[in-house]
Structure 1
Amino acid sequence: MKVKKTFPKILWLIFSSSIFFILLYFALLYYTKKAEKQVYNSTLEQFDNEIHKLLQVNSKPILVAINNDTNWDEFVNFTKTKDTLWYNQTINNELDIYEADYLGAYDANKNFIIRTPTNSIKTVDFIPKKEMELLDTMGINKFYMKIPEGLVEVTGATIHASDDPLKNKTPVAGYFFVVRLMDATFIKNLEELTSSKILLIDNDVTPPHKKHKIISLYTLKDNNNQFIGKLVFERNFQVYFENAINLLYLIIAAFIINLIVNLIYTRKLVYYPLDLVRRALESGNRKAIKELKKTSGEFSYIGNLFEENSNQKLELIKAKIKAEEGDRLKSSFLANLSHEIRTPMNAINGFTELILNTKISETEKMEYLNVIEKSGKNLVGIIDDLIEMSKIDSNQLTPNLTAINLDGLVNELYETVKVTIQNKDIDFKLIKSKSQAKFNIVTDDIKLKQVIINLLTNAIKFTEQGSVSFGFEIDEDQQLIHFTVKDTGLGIDEENHKNIFDRFKRVDSDISIKVGGLGLGLAISKAYIDLLGGSITLESTVGEGSTFYFSIPLQYSVAEHITVKSINNVDVIKSASETILIAEDDNINFLLFQKMMQHKNFKIIRAINGQEAVDICLNTPNIDLVLMDIKMPIMTGFEALEQIRPIRPNLPIIAQTAYSSSDDKIKIEEAGFNGYITKPLNRDTLFELINKYLYKENQNEI
């Protein structure tokens, strides 16, 4: 079958449309530039005329006043009598009329008679004789000159009798000059008059053109008509766009027409066949396949392929469902992994570093090894559980039942958790069971431990002060083991009870930041309890606390009790030299910092949230360095840094974070931290940063 090529037609349509609009664009650009140039030249010419007229208006009051005064008989007599009393009583009073900085009079022999002094111009006799000779023929003249006080505008006129208004019949009786200093005040008044920005320059170079600005130049010349300076008037230039906008409307209209044509053409050759392909892919519609075969070009060939391969549709659907299920399971696995794995890894790496690189007693070594052993087992269990969580979604999870000593398991969990909260104001209690298990019980100990740890962790983190207790009771009648985890903490609003066990959901509050992860703890716990054949319930009141109850089946296995080793309590280090503030809400992480630094001569202060870190930094001036956790309740590390920096700009603040992506590192650096360290903590990196910012590079490790 000969295939008709439709794709080149579509390409040609797109190409022709593009050429059309490109040509329109350049036409618009050319027209706009041309119109802009015309408007600019016209505006510039208008501005230049306006400036020169305004300058004439500015000089006219002086010309009128000086013309009146110099055609005054009493002024003629003054040039002969040189009566300074008359001058001071008459001419000096007209200084404000002239708005001048200097008034000076000369006699017919061009000799200086008197001046009107001001604070601006103190030079006495500076009018050139040649200017007076020029006035003999011109009668009145304005020019510019430089004096010690700066550039001045000089207006001069010959003194004549009142019966000689044209100043060309009688001999010259004298000369009178009005001078204005072109200082900042003069320029400012001129700017207000001309509505322009003015620049006074002393060279004949034309200033460069500025975008959206127009300028007018006014040359200043002396009495010999020589260049002495230049006034540059500058004003904003507004471009006239109406014609360009009208042309744009035409382009938009042309584009719409072209789009309609393209849509009609595309619908016939592309959209309708593609819709048939969609219907065939979604449901295997035979009518759609039949119509697709009747189309032209490649789509007709595709219709033949659908008809020939219709038997493979079910396999494709199954493969699609399987791939989607795999993606969902993988996403769930990665989310759970991020939520659960960091805390035990931090303990393992941190306490291993302490054992390898610090001098510790055998008792401490055994204590650390116990923590590492339990964290390692917990980590393996968590990884198994995360894999099994994915299996739960696909109904592939089965419990790993073993015989355990229930009393020993509970005591072990109590001792382990007690170590992590010794610095917190919580009364942590183990409720003694009224009825003991007769023998070891059969259950999945990894899952049971994880359920209890998850519930205790939530209880402790949501309890700032008060009590946390847990325990169990054996119910021989119903063949159940009832567990209870109770706290006097934040409590949970009743409307959130129905969602508390849903994955990826948690109660939103400042303190909920402490929970960490993605809110999977209670969801995982419920999944494990369901798997073990049990049930879990919740009782909680906001402000009073929460109690979780869960039960699992009681099944005995005759075996010896398992002994459990306890974990020693960890003492807070007390050393005094450089003071380091550790802002860390997690007790295990803070304990690791303490153990890493216990052989260093540091004084350690702890803040359990961002607000407390800010308060300590602002109220304790002897703090030398801060290790700031990024994710904390009440106020994050970023928010705390913003409040500390303006008050303590030189205080070294190092971020400590479980985030390790490149984007997170960039965010930390841009926020203004001096440095950062990621979890799990590395001892060498920690001390390198501390030494660097405490200027103790040569400090030897103990």
Structure 2
Amino acid sequence: MTVKKTFPKILWLIFSSSIFFILLYFALFYYTKKAEKQVYKDTVEQFDKRIDELIHLESKPILVSINNDTNWDEFVDFTITKDKNWFIETIGNELDIYNADYLGAYGADKNFIIRVPTPKIKTIDFIPKDEMELLNKVGINKFYMKIPEGVVEVTGAAIHPSDDPLKKKTKASGYFFVVRLIDTSFIKDLDKATMATTAFLETNQSLPKEKNKIHSVYKLRDYKNNEIGALVFKRDFDVYFENITNIMYVIILFFIINLIVNLIYTRKLVYYPLDLVRRALESGNRKAIKELKNTTGEFSHIGNLFEENSNQKIELIKAKIKAEEGDRLKSSFLANLSHEIRTPMNAINGFTELLLNTGTTEAEKLEYLNVIEKSGKNLVGIIDDLIEMSKIDSNQLTPNLTVVNLESCINELYETVKITIKNKDIDFKLIQPKRPAKFNIITDDIKLKQVIINLLTNALKFTERGSVTFGFEIDEENELINFTVKDTGLGIDEDNHKNIFDRFKRVDSDISIKVGGLGLGLAISKAYVDLLGGTISLDSKVGEGSTFYFSIPLKYSVVEHITVKQINNVEIQKSEGETILIAEDDNINFLLFQKMMQNKNYKIIRAINGQEAVDICLNTPNIDLVLMDIKMPIMTGFEAMEQIRPMRPNLPIIAQTAYSSSEDKIKIEEAGFNGYLTKPLNREHLFEMINTYLDKENYNEI
């Protein structure tokens, strides 16, 4: 009887325990599902917020650049003159800066003026006039619209003078638009920026449902705020709760055994990790995230996701701070660039106007012309530095290694610089090495010379009196050539040492402002030294002077020493009526050639493009010499050269070009030109070239 009475109690206990545990488990299951939804919701919200921040950050450079361009007085003048060449050469070259597919300008009457597109966009005029009305109110606006090529992102701004930075005081002089086509390339850039999979969604398309994925939808609206489509960003959401369902079946099957086990481990396996998830979601508690990582199963993966998200937030903040600092430095650099360019231009324009419109003596004319020449050289130097810095940034520079007599190279530099400072109260010395190089060395002599000249120029700029010395020593043991440039000038504060080779940071002082310049010399020097496989450093104290050290690898070429020939003044020979073809599309440059040669007996023929130069050379056998511009319409100088040379192999052809880097010179030589002239033209060098190649006997031996 006792057994009979006890058995029902045991069964009841087992039944009641199982019911209680099953109900408890379902309660846990419900709570887990609720937590899953909360995790998913919070993750989607964070994803949406991050996408908005990244898209805003991606658009910021365009907004900054378009604001700078449309607050430019020269742009205002363009809307009046409608000088398309100015727009193409000045604004059209900024396609890469904007990373855009179309740059378009409209007048104050909202009529289309000009566009500069990439091959992606062929539509010419598609900006709504209502949008331009809106720009009169808001100044700058970004919107989306559909054109035959697809959906495009349009950033527009009203053009105003520079004294109206808020674009509110004056009526808009015109309108400028930057357009980017939302195509495969655009989508790939967004993929990289957001680290998600991006797709374009039409207005009538529904968002596809995918398991274990989170989506963020960025709606594309036109200037009337109507939705025309959307960008969908998709990312994996690897949070799984199926294991809990499987455990439920196991518990139901073995509830007596697992009841006790589940009561013990539920808190450890479910409640505690979920509490850590909650704490991590609510406050981003790093301790909770760390403990969550140390748990087992999917919660450990969630902990890794939380940590990754937290680290990404920190990196994003750092990147934002760095980007803002970069924008500030670039803005400062551009402001300085504008000042440095306008200063010589002001002198050139001002003194030219004085020469043209005022009565001046011969002495005053000579003085004005000297100022114009000096300002022009300063302007060319600034442009050369900018071009060289651009090539460095785009990794277009490669060392052109040649055999160099190091002692002759350094002595030549010393004599050249010494002549330029003969009017300064400075003791300029070349320190001879203790051990000269045993043989000629292998290096890029052009870049080596440029580094030394840049360092010497800086030393001489910032030394009003005292001494400037330079020299080198051979380190056979470490296979290095160690160069030193030392001055007793202004010196550099120690806080600025770390920034001295940064192209966007210039150490400003009264003397640096006085001597001017962009401060790119040291940045270019460091890039050249790095290119040659060396290192550069400095030691400087304020008031005591500076010493720059740089080293390059020592590589011997066991050949006889090279004798460096000095360049003598050119003696202009008498001309004998030879025929010279000048291929030049620019009227002012052609006029300069005419004026330079007006006292000679040359017969001048002009070609205004490459095709015309080819036709004249092939149909006019009595041409003795060709001065060929490299950049011309219809056919470039290189293309014209390819057609002329097979038919006229003995005709001297000299390139005239605005390009001046060593890489450009090598390209010109490889194309088969007999020589080259760089712009601005040097009259002495011009006649040296003409004399060389019009001397028939000597030319046949060249």
Coarse TM-score class (shorter-chain normalised): 0.3 to 0.5
TM-score for both structures, normalised by structure 2: 0.34
Q: Which has the larger radius of gyration?
A: 1
Higher relative contact order (CA 8 A, sep 6+): 1
